[in-house]
Chains A and B, each alone.
Chain A
Amino acid sequence: MSAGDEFRHRTSEEDGLFLGGEPVGVDVAVEQGVGPVELIPDAIADVELAHTAEPVPRTQWQLFRRRFFRHRMAVISGVVLVGLYVACFSAKWWVPFDPNKQNLLLGPVSPRASHWFGTDELGRDQFARIVYAGQISLKIGLAVALISTVVGAVLGAIAGFFGKVTDQFLMRITDLFLVVPAIAILAIALRRFGHSDTTIILVLAGLFWMYIARIVRGQVLSIKEKEFVEAARAAGGSAPRIIGRHIIPNVVGPIVVNATLAVATAIITESTLSFLGFGVQPPRTSWGNMLSTAEGYVGTSNAYLLYFPGLAILLTVLAVNFLGDGLRDAFDPQGGRQ
C-alpha cells in the first residue's frame, strides 16, 4: 500500500528512495574488503597480499554507523529533529513570549522583527504558540510510534514465531483493523473516550499497530526458516534463546525504521484530527488546531497565520522521513534502494 487516503502509514517496504548516497553495489564491495584489487610487483606480493587480503574486522554496529553517516540528508535530519524536540521542550527557558498572553490592543500583525511569525487575532505571539504547540504534536507523534511499535512488534513476533492457530487468529484481527475507515473511526473513538493527550495517544496507537505487526510477522516467518536458526535449534537452543539471540537482532532494523516512519504518520494524523476539531481541543494548542483557527483567515490579509504551523509540520515530517530512509539503508544496504 502506498498512498491515497488522508491517513496513510508508510512502511519501509515501500518506495525505494535514494537521495543522498551513491549506488549501493560499490559501498558493499568496499566494506567487505574486496575493493579494487591492484596489481602488485612480484617481489613484495607476499607481504602486500597478506596485508590487503585480510579485511579489517568491523562490528555490525561500526558498519551500520558508517553507512548511516554517509547518508547526508539523514544525518542532517537527525540533527534537525533533535533540535526541534529540544527547542520545543525547553521553550519556557528561551521563548520571550507567553503563548497565551493576549494583547488585544496589538491585534493581528503580520510577521516582523518583534513578532517573527506575527500575532493572531488576540495579539498572541505566533512563534511562541508554534513552539509550545510543538510540545503536544511532537509528544503525541513519538508516543504513538513507540506504543504502536511495541504492541505491533510483540504481536507480529508471536504470530510469526508460533504460527498455526495463533498466527491465523492474530492476522485475522489485523485484517479487521485494516478494513475500517481510519480517520472516521479515530474521530468517533476520540469523541467517545475524550480528548486528553493520553487518550489521543492510545487511540492513535490502537489503529497504528497492525502495520508493524505485519512486517515483523513476515520477517520472523522468513528468519525462522533460515539455516542458522535450524542449527541453533539442532544444537538444543531453547525458544527464548532462539528468539533473543537469533530472531530479535535480525528484525531490529525493520522495527526501528518503521517506528521512525510511524512518528511522521502519527504527527500528520494528529494534525488532521485536530484540524477537523476532533483531536486536541482549545485552549490547548497543537499545530493541527492552530491551522483549524487559521482556516478562517484564508483569503484575508491575515493568511500568514496559515503558513507557519503547516511549515512546522512539513519540516518535522520531512526530517522524520529522511531519517527513516537513512536508517533503512544503514540497516539493509542491499534492499530498499534501487
Chain B
Amino acid sequence: MLTYITRRVLYSIPVIFVASFLLFAFVRATFDPTAHLRASRTAAEAIKSERKRLNLDKPTVVQYSDWLKKFVRGDWGTSERTHERVFAMIRRSLWVTTQLIFWGVLVSALLAIAMGVYSAVRQYSALDYTLTGLSFVALAMPPFWFGLIAIQFLSADLKNVFHLQEPLFYSIGLHKPGVTGLNVDYLRHLALPVMTLTVQIVAGWGRYQRAAMLDVMSADYVRTARAKGVPRRRVIFKHALRNALIPLVTVMALDIGVLFGGLIITETIFSIPGMGRLFFDSLLRGDATVLVSWTVVTALFIVLFNLLADVAYGWLDPRIRFS
C-alpha cells in the first residue's frame, strides 16, 4: 500500500509543477498588470518602473520561480482590485465554497446511493424508469438555468403566492447581514444553492451507483450468499452495497476536486462570496494577481483529489493495489 501511495504521490509532483507553470505563464500573458497606468501622462516611464518592480522584464521561467518561492511562503501578492492580500481573499473564499461543497456532496451522496440501490434492486420498475428519465433531464439541463428557475419558483413565486414578508428561501449570500453561525437563517440561504448543486451532481452519481450495484448484484459471491440463505436485505446492504460503493467513492473524490474551482455559476447566481464569485469578479476586472493564485490553487485541489481518489480506490479494493 505504501509503495502504491508513494508512486501516485511521486507522479503528482511533476504534474503540479508543470501545470502551475503553464497556468502562471498563461494568466500572466493574458493580463497586463500595468494596464491601469496607461492613461497617465508619464505612462511610458511609470509602466517601465512598475514592470521592473513586478519583475515583468525578466524571462517567464525566472518570474515563475520568484512567484513560486513567494507562493510557498504564503505571500501571494496584493489584489489590484481590492488592494487586499490575495492569500486572505482566497482563504476566506475557500471556506465559503467548502461549506457549499460539504452540504451539496452530503445531500447528493445520500440521494445517489439511495437511488442507485433502489434502481438496481428493482431494475425496470416504474420508479427506476422515472429516476432514469429525471436523470436524463438533469444531465441535459444547464445548471445555471435550474438555479434561475429555482429562484423564480421557490423564492419569488412562493413569496408572492403566500404573501410573505420575506421569501422562505433566500437567493443572496449565506446569511442575512449581521447574522452568523449555524442557524435557520443559514439553512434558508443554503437551500437553493445546495439544491442547484445537488441537481447537477446527483444524476451522474445515481447512474453510476446503479451501474455499480447491478454489476455487483450479478457477481458470483452475491449469488452464493443468496443461495446459502442470507436474508435479502442483508445481501443487498452488507454484501453488495459495500463493494458497489467503491467506484462511487472514487468518482466522488474526482468530482469534489473539480468543484473547488467549478462553482462559478452557482456562486454567481446566488451571490455567494466563494471561490467562483472571486474568480468572476477578478476576471471582470482583469485582476491578474488573484487569477494566477486562483487557477493554481484550484488546479492543486484537482490534483489532490485525483490522488485521494486513487489512494481510496487502492485502499478499499486490494485488487487494485497489487496489480
Pairing of A with B: yes
Binding site for B on A (CB under 8 A): 1-8, 10, 14-19, 172, 175-176, 178-185, 187-189, 191-192, 264, 268, 271-272, 275-278, 288, 291, 294-295, 298-299, 303, 306-307, 310, 313-314, 317-318, 321-322, 338
The stretch that binds A, out of B50-58, B78-86, B148-156, is B148-156
The answer to whether B142 and A184 have CB atoms under 8 Å apart is no
Known interface pairs A299-B155, A321-B136. Does A291 touch B144 (Cβ–Cβ under 8 Å)? yes
> How far, in Å, is B309 (CB) from chain A's closest CB?
9
**Assuming A179-B302, A184-B261, is B207 touching A2 (CB within 8 A)?**
yes
Q: Please, how many angstroms separate the alpha-carbon atoms of A305 and B49 in the complex? A: 50
Closest-by-CB residue of A relative to B151 is A298
Measured CA separation A278–B210 after assembly (Å): 37
Would B140 and A4 count as touching, CB distance under 8 A? Answer: no
- The answer to whether B43 has its CB under 8 Å from any CB of chain A is no
In the complex, are the beta carbons of B204 and A275 less than 8 A apart?
Answer: no
Chain B residues 199-251 with CB under 8 Å of chain A are 200-205, 207-208, 210-211, 214-215, 251
How far is it, in angstroms, between the C-alpha of A291 and the C-alpha of B264 when the chains are bound? 16
B259 beta carbon closer than 8 Å to chain A: yes
Interface of chain B residues 255 through 306 with chain A (CB within 8 A): 255-256, 258-266, 268-269, 279-280, 283-284, 286, 291, 294-295, 298-299, 302-303, 306
A-B contacts, 22 of them at CB < 8 A, read A1-B255, A3-B203, A5-B262, A6-B200, A6-B263, A6-B266, A8-B204, A14-B207, A17-B132, A18-B132, A179-B302, A181-B261, A184-B298, A188-B26, A188-B291, A272-B142, A291-B145, A298-B148, A306-B152, A310-B142, A310-B145, A322-B136
Q: Contact check, A313 vs B145: say whether CB atoms are below 8 A apart.
A: yes
> Chain A's nearest CB lies how many Å from the CB of B86?
16
Whole-angstrom distance between the alpha carbons of A70 and B294 in the complex?
A: 49
Q: Is there a chain A Cβ closer than 8 Å to B143's Cβ?
A: yes
Task: Tell me the complex Cα distance, A185–B133, Å.
Answer: 32
CB-defined contacts of A278 to chain B, threshold 8 Å: 283
Contact between B204 and A3, CB atoms less than 8 A apart: yes
Contacting pair B152 A276 (CB below 8 A): no
Chain A residues with CB under 8 Å of B201's CB are 3-4
B215 contacts which chain A residues (CB < 8 A)? 338
Which residue of chain B is the closest to A193 with respect to CB atoms? B30
Q: Which segment, of B17-25, B181-189, B315-323, faces chain A? A: B17-25
Contact B262 A183 (CB under 8 A): yes
**Which residue on chain A has the smallest CB distance to residue B302?**
A179
Partner of A338, one of B137, B202, B214: B214
* Complexed CA–CA distance, A14 and B132 (Å): 14
Chain A nearest Cβ from B165, distance in angstroms: 15
**In whole angstroms, how far apart are the Cα atoms of A278 and B283 in the complex?**
9
Please determine whether A181 and B283 come into contact, CB atoms closer than 8 angstroms: no
Shortest distance from the beta carbon of A186 to any chain B beta carbon, whole Å:
10
Q: A16 CA to B15 CA in the complex, in Å?
A: 32
| Distance in angstroms between the alpha carbons of A306 and B151 in the assembled complex | 11
**Is B72 part of the contact surface with A, judged by Cβ < 8 Å?**
no
- A275 contacts which of B254, B265, B284 (Cβ < 8 Å)? B265
Q: Which of A1, A15, A178, A181 contacts B262 (CB 8 A)?
A: A181
8 Å CB contact of B295 from A8, A17, A185 = A185
Q: With A10-B139, A188-B283, A299-B152 given, can you name 16 additional A-B contacts, CB distance below 8 Å?
A: A2-B205, A5-B262, A6-B143, A6-B266, A8-B204, A15-B210, A16-B207, A176-B18, A181-B261, A191-B30, A276-B268, A288-B142, A314-B137, A317-B139, A317-B140, A317-B141
Q: Which residues of chain A are within 8 angstroms of B302 by Cβ–Cβ distance? A: 178-181
Report yes or no: B258 in contact with A175, Cβ–Cβ below 8 A. no
Provided the pairs A3-B203, A19-B133, A181-B262 are in contact, do residues A298 and B27 lie with their beta carbons within 8 angstroms?
no
By beta carbon, the residue of chain B nearest A316 is B140
What chain B residues lie within 8 Å of A291 (beta carbons)?
A: 142, 144-145, 148
User: Cβ of B265 and Cβ of A188 under 8 Å apart?
Assistant: no
Asked if B29 is at the interface of the complex by the 8 Å CB criterion, the answer is: yes
CB distance from A7 to the nearest CB of B (A): 7
Chain B contact residues, CB within 8 Å of chain A: 15, 18-19, 22-23, 26-27, 29-30, 123-124, 129, 132-133, 135-137, 139-145, 148-149, 151-152, 155-156, 200-205, 207-208, 210-211, 214-215, 251-252, 254-256, 258-266, 268-269, 279-280, 283-284, 286, 291, 294-295, 298-299, 302-303, 306
Residues of A within 8 A of B123 (CB): 338
* A310 in contact with B254 (CB, 8 Å): no
Minimal beta-carbon separation of A202 from chain B (angstroms): 15
Q: Are A318 and B137 in contact (CB under 8 A)?
A: yes
- The answer to whether B29 touches A5, judged by C-beta atoms less than 8 angstroms apart, is no
Q: Which residues of A contact B286 (CB under 8 A)?
A: 191
Let me know if B15 and A179 touch, CB within 8 A: yes
Query: Which of chain A's residues has its CB closest to B263's CB?
Result: A6
A147 CB → nearest B CB, Å? 20
Asked if B204 contacts A184 (CB within 8 A), the reply is no
A298: chain B residues at CB < 8 Å are 148, 151-152, 156
Contact call B299/A181, Cβ cutoff below 8 A? yes
Question: In the complex, are the beta carbons of A176 and B261 less than 8 A apart?
Answer: no
Given contacts A15-B211, A321-B136, contact A179 B303 (CB under 8 A): yes
Which chain B positions have C-beta within 8 A of A6?
Answer: 143-144, 200, 262-266
Of chain B, the residue at the smallest CB distance from A15 is B207
Chain B residues with Cβ below 8 Å from A176 are 15, 18-19, 22
Which residue of B142, B256, B283 contacts A4 across the interface (Cβ within 8 Å)?
B256
Chain A neighbourhood of B143, CB < 8 A: 6, 272
The answer for the CA separation of A35 and B93 in the assembled complex, in Å, is 62
A265 to B116, CA, bound (A): 24
Most chain A CB within a 10 A radius of its CB, from B144, B156, B201: B144
**Distance of A278 Cα from B302 Cα, bound (Å):** 23
Which residues of the partner chain B approach A1 to less than 8 Å between Cβ atoms? 251, 254-255
Give the CA-CA distance A306 to B204 in the complex, in Å. Answer: 25
Q: Is the CB of A17 within 8 A of B142?
A: no
Q: Which residues of A contact B207 (CB under 8 A)?
A: 2, 14-17
Shortest CB–CB separation between residue B280 and chain A, in angstroms? Answer: 7
